[in-house]
Amino acid sequence: MQTDLKIGGAASARRYRHPLLSAISLFLQCLQGAVDPVAKRRVRWTPQAASTAAVLMTLDSDTTLYGNFQHAQACMKGDYRGRDRTGQTYNGLLKALERQQNTVLPIVRTELRAQVRRRLDHLYSTQPWVLLAVDGSKEDLPRTRDHEREFGIADNGVTPQAFITAITEVHTGLLWDWRLGRARASERQHLTEMIPDLPGDALLLADAGFVGLPIWEKLNTEGKHFLIRVGRNAHLLTDLWPQAKTRVARDIVYAWPKNARNTRPPLTLRLIKVGSGRQVMHLLTNVLEPTRLSRKAAGAIYRKRWGVELFYRTFKRTLGCAKLRSKAARRATIELEWALVTMTLMTLLGVDALVKRRRDPHRISHAQLLHMLRIALRTPPSSRLNTGCTLKRALGRCLKDAYTRRKPKHSRHRIITKNTPITHLRPPNVRPATTKDRKHAIKYTHKAA
């Protein structure tokens, strides 16, 4: 805990820095000294102060945005005083965030990705793959004309929605990257934009929505490895080069649709069948060597893809972002961006606290973590309950229960709706290559598996 002496008359008082601000500021130091790119005069809401306020507003549990602002301002009051004091109005803060978003958000996202990379290096120091999962989800918005015009209405036919595509670490929920779009945005297009920034040692897990030669070829060209579940919407070939000697011929397939045969070579992939009976899954990967990714390991790894679904549950239900509250489209985008930044910061704080106390970070409990941070936000910095050591110890105890579940966690009544996903995918379309297919492929050099 950092303190300063404040001298006033014959008495001296000690000023306590808020431990929650001390913890958050470690990840926002990249904004120190940054200036408002648009303002022509000195402003109270500097990029660092405005970003800190946006994070605190997301952490707060008040039901209104103005209530969140009041609690965030009360938390920051002790640290931002004198010449560094902040603005006093909620509207002023939102105007500052709007002006600064194109400059500040890229800096913050780059810094957070570097921080996440350091934690992943520690968590996966003895493992060959960094397991990342990608998936898309929708965020409900208030029914305003501005939202309907800017975001549109998707599958529910009633409420405007924003679309999120996120890449997360499967165990801890650390957010690696994300993209936002309109209600009917393409999660495959979002992933294509994020591929260049994926770690080189990552194994990307995805469901059957991420199919198609363009996205598989992009991942393979960039040197990124993937493990994707496929169903009837995937069309694959076998025995395209029957004379080629392959070590795992029975697993090798080729993605080569008819509309691409004159412009690009076939993509060599490996089709892995795991499970049995009604629990069969077909997984497609560009890791061709079974020694690097065995059938058993592929099945066990893919089941961890569920971590990205848990991330969305935490983000929407635990953090309370199932429906945004901003009525203007430009401010809803800012609210959603800073909610994702806050989710990343919160997880980083929890992982660091658990690692320091030599606890398993895979057991991190986001619900307990958020509960402790909200208590710290509402507690005055001079209170004994809100010292730096007490906050770190509290975060280091945010673990999931260690008991073993005796029964499967299934709902007794599952309501079937139009958007209920299909739980049992049919197998992909796999057929032997014809003579015509082989004539088209003869001009391409075969890469032996």
Q: What is the pLDDT of residues 345-356, one digit of tens each?
A: 999 999 999 999
Q: How many domains are contained in the chain?
A: 2
- Tell me the residue range of the domain where 216 lies: 124-311+426-441
Identify whether residues 155 and 269 lie together within a single domain.
yes
What is the rounded average pLDDT for all residues in the chain?
Answer: 88
* 355 three-class SS: helix
Q: How many CA atoms within 13 Å lie on the side-chain side of 155?
A: 9
Per-residue pLDDT tens over the stretch 304-358? 999 999 999 999 999 999 999 999 999 999 999 999 999 999 999 999 999 999 9
Separation CA 136–CA 168 (nearest Å): 11
Do 60 and 135 reside in the same domain of the chain?
no
Residue 152 within any structural domain of the chain: yes
What's 314's DSSP letter?
I
Same domain, 156 and 216: yes
Q: Does 306 share its domain with 340?
A: no
Contact 376, 391 (CB under 8 A): yes
Location of structure tokens 């920034």: 197
This prediction's pTM: 0.91
Q: Which one-letter DSSP state was computed for residue 399?
A: B
- The answer to whether residues 209 and 302 belong to one domain is yes
User: Which residues are registered as beta bridge partners of 429?
Assistant: 235
387 pLDDT higher than 70: no
Tokens coding 109? 């996202």
DSSP conformation class of 158:
S
Task: Name beta bridge partners: 3.
Answer: 16
Helix ranges (H only) for 26-144 are 47-59, 65-76, 90-123
Q: Verify that 37 and 174 share a domain, yes or no.
A: no
Same domain, 245 and 273: yes
